[in-house]
């Protein structure tokens, strides 16, 4: 199949950034009919939200976002671009939220509390299961995913910030991480030898951590980690005397070096800005990191943190949707995220 490269929407990204501060009134996402799975050239969405122009500063009485229907060939999402999610309210709303976000894949940390597979089937957005610790509590779920769902020869994410304290991270030593994550890997591979394992979920790229973890794995299991790749997180946290812009550049350089040093695939399963709790800064970080990772050949997939959650309001300032009054509402981050797809490789035709 021939390949066409679409030009980056940098001008749109800058325009959205300028207009960002006037987007505060949020709008409920309209319900969309379920879409069948698309086997190739994932079509992100058939309805693209335009940027709402607020008519009032009263957010208690929002209006719906104007929408426009586009042809399937007008917009396609990057095959890299994804999002991580919390607990969603329903299949219909989950489908709606993902399709409007313009992503090709998603993951969550809910251990199955979402009806992930129904959402994936109806939205056409790929779902990647994620597990952290305590294999025994998840064995039956893993068996269902493989044997009932027919999830064979596909990707699994293992681990979440072993180098961070609980409850946000798994808080494990190298030896503990090798034990916990190793049990998951070998159990999944015992049921599906073709499973693709993406490991760790480090707070940020660290060759030092991977090296020590791999040595601990060798000691425990008698071989180096038989993984298909590594996943890490990327948050713009400035060091002492460093600006936010300098922090972004440093982390992107680290990510590129990490990708060169480690064999296998590299996924960024969370990225954004959590320190300032400022949506404007988060929007700028989203655009900077998203543009860079889309173009960075070392990165195979990336996911923004996060879509939203009904039971965790701590991250509203970095959410694409905010749970309020029993429904998810768009935040000003959604239009920025949905429209910024800088360079997209499209395969034609989609058969």
pLDDT band at 109 (very low <50, low <70, confident <90, very high): confident
* Average pLDDT score over residue span 88-114: 88
pLDDT number for residue 309: 93
pLDDT band at 276 (very low <50, low <70, confident <90, very high): confident
Task: Decide: 79 and 101 in contact? Cβ < 8 Å.
Answer: no
The fraction of the chain above a pLDDT of 70, given in percent, is 74
pLDDT band at 258 (very low <50, low <70, confident <90, very high): very high
Neighbour count for residue 5 (Cβ, 10 Å)? 9
**What is the C-alpha separation between 105 and 37, in angstroms, rounded?**
12
pLDDT number for residue 343: 40
Task: Decide: 72 and 46 in contact? Cβ < 8 Å.
Answer: yes
* Average pLDDT score over residue span 329-351: 66
Q: What is the DSSP letter of 233?
A: E
List the domain range (segments joined by +) for residue 329: 2-127+228-348
Which residues 6+ apart lie within 8 Å of 99 measured at CB? 32, 35, 44, 45, 46, 47, 123, 124, 125
Backbone torsions φ then ψ of 259, nearest 5 degrees: -65, -35
In a domain, 173, yes or no: no
Interior/surface letters 50-88, b for 16+ CB within 10 angstroms, e for the rest: ebbeeeeeeeeebeebebeeeeeeebbbbbbbbbbbbbb
Neighbour count for residue 39 (Cβ, 10 Å)? 9
In a domain, 110, yes or no: yes
User: Would you call 62 helix, strand, or coil by DSSP?
Assistant: coil
Task: Decide: 106 and 82 in contact? Cβ < 8 Å.
Answer: yes
Q: Check whether 340 has a pLDDT greater than 90.
A: no
pLDDT band at 23 (very low <50, low <70, confident <90, very high): very low
pLDDT tens digit sequence for 155-195: 999 999 999 998 889 999 999 999 999 999 999 999 999 99
Q: Which residue has the tokens 């929408």?
A: 67
pLDDT number for residue 78: 85
Average pLDDT over the chain, rounded to an integer: 79
In a domain, 171, yes or no: no
pLDDT number for residue 49: 33
In a domain, 220, yes or no: no
**What is the C-alpha separation between 282 and 277, in angstroms, rounded?**
8
pLDDT tens digit sequence for 35-84: 333 323 334 433 333 333 333 333 333 333 333 333 333 334 688 999 99
In a domain, 202, yes or no: no
* Average pLDDT score over residue span 236-241: 93
**What is the C-alpha separation between 330 and 312, in angstroms, rounded?**
16
**What is the C-alpha separation between 135 and 214, in angstroms, rounded?**
20
pLDDT number for residue 112: 66
- CB neighbour class for 19 (10 Å; exposed up to 12, middle 13-18, buried from 19): middle
Closest CA to 227 of 155, 145, 299: 155
345 vs 83, which has greater pLDDT? 83
In a domain, 172, yes or no: no
In a domain, 243, yes or no: yes
Number of domains in the chain: 1
Please report how many Cα atoms fall inside a 13 Å half-sphere around the Cα of residue 204, on the Cβ side.
17
* Average pLDDT score over residue span 27-32: 36
In a domain, 54, yes or no: yes
pLDDT band at 314 (very low <50, low <70, confident <90, very high): confident
């Amino acid at each position: 199949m021939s390949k066409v490269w679409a030009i980056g929407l940098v001008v749109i990204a800058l325009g959205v950034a300028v207009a960002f501060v006037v987007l505060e009134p949020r709008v409920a996402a309209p319900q969309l009919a379920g879409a069948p799975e698309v086997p190739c050239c994932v079509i992100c969405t058939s309805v693209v939200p335009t940027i709402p122009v607020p008519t009032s500063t009263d957010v208690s009485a929002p209006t719906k976002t104007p929408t426009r229907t586009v042809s399937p060939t007008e917009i396609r999402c990057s095959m890299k671009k994804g999002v991580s999610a919390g607990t969603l309210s329903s299949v219909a709303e989950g489908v709606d939220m993902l399709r409007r976000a313009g992503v090709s894949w998603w993951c969550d940390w809910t251990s199955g509390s979402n009806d992930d597979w129904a959402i994936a089937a109806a939205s056409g957005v790929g779902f990647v299961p994620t597990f952290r610790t305590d294999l025994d509590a998840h064995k039956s779920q893993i068996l269902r995913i493989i044997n009932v769902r027919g999830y064979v020869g596909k990707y699994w994410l293992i681990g979440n910030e072993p180098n961070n304290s609980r409850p946000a991270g798994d808080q494990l030593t190298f030896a503990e991480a090798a034990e916990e994550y190793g049990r998951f890997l070998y159990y999944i591979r015992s049921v599906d030898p073709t499973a693709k394992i993406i490991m760790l979920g480090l707070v940020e790229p660290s060759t030092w951590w991977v090296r020590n973890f791999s040595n601990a794995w060798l000691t425990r299991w008698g071989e180096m980690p038989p993984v298909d790749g590594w996943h890490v997180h990327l948050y713009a946290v400035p060091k002492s005397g460093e600006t936010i812009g300098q922090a972004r550049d440093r982390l992107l350089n680290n990510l590129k070096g990490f990708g060169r040093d480690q064999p296998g695939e590299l996924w960024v399963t969370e990225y954004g800005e959590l320190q300032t709790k400022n949506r404007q800064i988060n929007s700028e970080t989203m655009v900077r990191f998203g543009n860079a990772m889309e173009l960075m050949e070392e990165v195979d997939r990336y996911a923004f943190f996060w879509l939203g959650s009904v039971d965790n309001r701590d991250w509203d300032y970095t959410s694409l949707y905010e749970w309020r009054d029993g429904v998810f509402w768009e935040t000003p981050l959604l239009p920025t995220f949905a429209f910024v797809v800088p360079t997209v490789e499209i395969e034609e035709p989609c058969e």
